[in-house]
A and B are shown apart, each in its own frame.
Chain A
């Protein structure tokens, strides 16, 4: 058994239909690995039974009192991992689009390298992803590069692996999906080593309905530009 303590954080908002399967899939994969782990679902003020379903599946559940957005929920998971002295943190989407074995491969890679933040890139091999999503994600990564100078192919990926240094040091201000790009900026500011590795994304009908669309991308861009301008004068 590895001495590394791994925290799997799943931010969830109204995911009662899939959260149980997602958690059980992760448990099944991680039980075959050597890692000690805890699955933490941050229920971001859901109005359905996400919290109950996650508890039934055996996860630790943190219930947000107020809906804070994906960035806020992930930040709570990060704080939990810091307070409980975890060595590695993995963030995964609640809709089951991430393959648990990809997460384990990422943990292995991070544990044996000097990387502090490892991004699971869906765009290195974008098979299965619709063209419009590929263009949207590449566009957001391009804008992230222009605004913050961070070279990452899939800046919006939800599968991310953090080292202890990143758990203790990374913080961001935005609370919506734009936190994905802001996190890369903060990592650059703190000289945190960022790398990418290829992952598969499994898109079900459910995850296609729940996922971000390109119109939401416009809101992300607006928020990122605003953040960049504001901090120029700080």
Chain B
């Protein structure tokens, strides 16, 4: 029950992130390489969440990875981390875009003012 809950909580965030990436790519705001990287990152994360239980079962046999089963707190923490990654990624792209626009504005203004 806990592993499906982990997936249930995280998959909407990943779905939104994937939708954002596809929309930006279709609108020409992301080039193919960047889009592929975004796709691989988020699908990779989804794949890890999908196989979280088999990974746990497999690694449980190794003393180095031996730990208790997933608690509700672990689920909340993992979801929070995934959500934070989503927020940080979105904000970083926005900041970079704003920086670029500010730089372009500064250059354009400097050239135009120098023409006068």
Contact = CB atoms under 8 A, between A and B. Distances in A.
Contacts of A61: 114
Interface string B85-116: 00001001100100110010011111101100
A230 B113 contact: no
A175 B103 contact: yes
Interface in A62-87: 62-66, 68, 72, 75-76, 79-80, 83
B28 to A, nearest CB: 15
Contacts of A79: 107-108, 111
A173 B100 contact: yes
A96 to B, nearest CB: 23
A234 interface: yes
Contact of B34 (A42, A63, A75, A234): A234
B16 to A, nearest CB: 17
Interface of A is mostly: mixed
B106 A66 contact: yes
B41 interface: yes
A5 B10 CA distance: 58
Interface residues of A, number: 21
Contacts of A234: 34, 37-38, 93
Contact of A65 (B41, B93, B110): B110
Contacts of A76: 106-107, 110-111
> Closest 8 interchain pairs by CB?
A62-B114, A76-B107, A234-B34, A64-B110, A79-B107, A62-B110, A80-B111, A62-B111
Interface string A205-234: 000000000000000000000000010111
26 contacts: A60-B114, A62-B110, A62-B114, A63-B110, A63-B113, A64-B106, A64-B110, A65-B109, A65-B110, A65-B113, A66-B106, A68-B103, A68-B106, A72-B103, A72-B107, A76-B106, A76-B107, A76-B110, A79-B111, A83-B111, A173-B96, A173-B100, A175-B103, A232-B37, A233-B89, A234-B37
Interface in B9-48: 34, 37-38, 41
Interface of A: 42, 60-66, 68, 72, 75-76, 79-80, 83, 173, 175, 230, 232-234
Nearest to A45: B110
Contacts of B93: 234
Nearest to A75: B107
Contacts of A42: 110
Contacts of B103: 68, 72, 75, 175
A72 B100 CA distance: 11
A175 B41 CA distance: 29
Interface in B52-80: none
Nearest to A72: B103
A72 B105 CA distance: 12
B62 to A, nearest CB: 29
Contacts of A63: 110, 113-114
A76 B41 CA distance: 35
Given A75-B107, A233-B41, 14 more contacts: A60-B114, A62-B114, A63-B110, A63-B113, A65-B109, A72-B103, A72-B106, A76-B110, A80-B111, A83-B111, A173-B99, A232-B37, A233-B37, A234-B37
